[in-house]
Amino acid sequence: MRKQLVAGNWKMNKTLDEALILVSEVVNMVNDEAKGDVKVVLCPPDLYLATLARYLEPITQMALGAQNCHQKASGAYTGEVSAPMLKSVGVEYVILGHSERRQYFAETDQQLAEKVDVVLENGLKPIFCCGESLEQRNGNDFIAFVCSQLTAGLFHLSAGQFADVVIAYEPIWAIGTGLTASSQQAQDMHAALRQHLAGQYGEAVAENTTILYGGSCNEKNAPELFACPDVDGGLIGGASLKSREFVNIVKSF
Residues 93-129 as b or e (16 or more Cβ within 10 Å = b): bbbbbbbbbbeeeebeeebbbbbbbbbbebebbbbbb
17 Cβ contact list (under 8 Å, min separation 6): none
Q: Please state, as a whole number, how many other Cβ atoms lie within 10 Å of the Cβ of residue 76.
A: 6
Shortest distance, CB of residue 248 to ligand 13P, whole angstroms?
Answer: 14
Nearest to ligand 13P of 225, 239 (CB atom): 239
Residue in the shown chain whose Cβ atom is closest to ligand 13P: 237
Nearest to ligand 13P of 11, 194 (CB atom): 11
Q: How far is 236 from 126, CA to CA, in rounded Å?
A: 16
Nearest to ligand 13P of 116, 239 (CB atom): 239
Shortest distance, CB of residue 173 to ligand 13P, whole angstroms?
Answer: 10
Shortest distance, CB of residue 128 to ligand 13P, whole angstroms?
Answer: 12
Catalytic machinery residues: 98, 170
Nearest to ligand 13P of 62, 205 (CB atom): 62
Q: How far is 156 from 159, CA to CA, in rounded Å?
A: 10
Shortest distance, CB of residue 67 to ligand 13P, whole angstroms?
Answer: 8
Binding residues for ligand 13P, rule: CB under 6 A, are 9, 98, 170, 175-176, 214-217, 235-239
